[in-house]
Copies of this chain bind each other. A is one copy, B any other.
Amino acid sequence: MADKNFKKPDTNRVTMADVGRLAGVTQVTVSRALSHPDKVSKKTLHSIQDAIAATGFVPNAVAGALASKRSKLVSALIPSLTNVVYTSFMATFSEHLRQNGYQVLMSETGFDPANEDALIATHLSRRPDAMLLTGVRHSDKARKQLQGAGIPVVEIWDITDIPIDICVGFNHSAAGRAVAEYLNAKGHSFAATITADDERALRRQSAFAERFSTFSRTTVPDANTGGIASIGAGREAMAHLIDQYGFQSGAVFCSSDLSAHGAIIELRTRGLKVPQDVAVVGFGDQDFARDIDPALTTVAVDRLQLGHLAASSLLDRLTGQPTKSIHDLGFEILTRASA
């Protein structure tokens, strides 16, 4: 809005035509030299390369994209930039795509679903060649827009029978149930949960609570940490469970390793022993999970695999290869000291 409609101080931008002039060929030949060097004679190739070096030519990908209808851009919408769970995935994903000549345009959606539609439109205006979305719950409008764009779309971190195009993730309810079974097998008869305000985390929590209560016939109290999981939020939630529910023995299933870490700190500060008094299970298997004391029992998802699959299935679509559209990565409970 504060847009001054300011015109860029026409930097003497070098074009392919300029390079061509210097090398004694037309602009088209320069274009060819760059994209199909084998279709150009060694001699002209050389003089073009010299001309490029001399002029400091940087190709204009904007013009290229307009002409070719391929932007070599992949849009990625993730809930949070500061959550390592998402960014570590993105690092793998981006790297894989970059190696194939694509750049990733990433935006944070936050945890407000309303935000997503607007962001999708903004991203589509850049004419990305493909798009990555987090989760499988998207508005009808979003689905329609994406279908209209006619580009490959991958939805990650969750699975569904009816993906927009491709999905790669795992079943969150199944994960919640598996943890309930694990803790029951360990002989726990009381359990609580610490959950962030995230749709998938809530699904794990409710599946956990439902299953666990079939074993213990007690209800499973939950402490919600709000939007973002953190060590601080985990401490607070644990404090709440202790103060409000007198929770001093049993097991706690946290929606994130971070809040689990916080819960452990709070328990120890109060003189409670982990896992003897309270067992703690995290989620995500972040890098620190094995390094804290006690080492954290948690649910692991192969994020590397996730990043690779998301990228390679898009790449397959982009190159016309056949691809599976539903990838269930599963998960694994890693037993460590905390539970």
Interfacial chain B residues near A10, Cβ < 8 Å: 69
A144 beta carbon closer than 8 Å to chain B: yes
In the complex, residue of chain B having the shortest beta-carbon distance to the beta carbon of A269: B293
Contact B231 A6 (CB under 8 A): no
A318 beta carbon closer than 8 Å to chain B: yes
CB distance from A54 to the nearest CB of B (A): 13
Contact A103 B103 (CB under 8 A): no
Contact A70 B127 (CB under 8 A): no
Instruction: Tell which of B124, B235, B287 touches A231, judged by Cβ atoms closer than 8 Å.
Output: B287
In the complex, residue of chain B having the shortest beta-carbon distance to the beta carbon of A129: B8
Count class of interface residues, chain A: 35 or more
Interfacial chain B residues near A126, Cβ < 8 Å: 61-62, 103
Interfacial chain B residues near A319, Cβ < 8 Å: 2-4, 6
Task: Tell whether A125 pairs with B59 under 8 Å between CB atoms, given A84-B84, A108-B91, A262-B291.
Answer: yes
Q: Which of A85-115 contact B (CB under 8 A)?
A: 87-88, 90-91, 94-95, 98, 100-101, 103-108
Q: Which 4 residue pairs spanning A and B have beta carbons closest together? A: A11-B150, A231-B288, A61-B125, A232-B291
18 contacts between A and B (CB under 8 A): A3-B100, A3-B101, A3-B319, A4-B320, A8-B69, A8-B129, A11-B149, A58-B125, A60-B66, A60-B127, A81-B87, A84-B84, A87-B87, A91-B108, A98-B107, A103-B126, A230-B291, A269-B293
